[in-house]
Amino acid sequence: MKREKGQPKLRGRPQKDSGKRTKKIDTRFTEEEYQLILDMEKELGISKTDLIRLRVLENARNVVVNAAALIGSLDTIGAELGRSGNNINQLARYANVLKKRGILSAVVIERFNLLFETYNRQHKEIIIALRQVIRQMGK
């Protein structure tokens, strides 16, 4: 295409209005890690930069687990479950004493059943949540 007289000479590709990459992150790899990246670059047919960008940003929305915070939370949850279990055992022991004396009331039985159901439900919810965390960590 011919340019008109008085128009500036065009040089190179037009400037991007948006999406321009201006930030840079430097990282270092071991020889083995770098070789793995080179192998993936050959196998997939994309540049190292695009490969790393895709691998990092592809899973950016997934949960990143802070191991120290997770362990702290698990300790707290475990202690709370232990206390709940102890309370249930004490209530069961008290119910057995009342039963032996022949004065066990329906209120104690209902309360025990309610606490035990709540304990079991919370225990199942914790197991489900932990499995989800483990699955996310494996991705």
In which residue ranges of the chain is pLDDT below 50?
Answer: none
User: Could you read off the pLDDT of 97-118 as tens digits, one per residue?
Assistant: 999 999 998 988 898 898 889 8
Residue 35's pLDDT is what?
Answer: 95
User: Is 117 buried (19+), middle (13-18) or exposed (0-12) by CB count in 10 A?
Assistant: exposed
Q: What is the pTM of this model?
A: 0.47
Q: Determine which helix (DSSP H) or strand (DSSP E) holds 95, and give its type and residue range.
A: helix 67-101
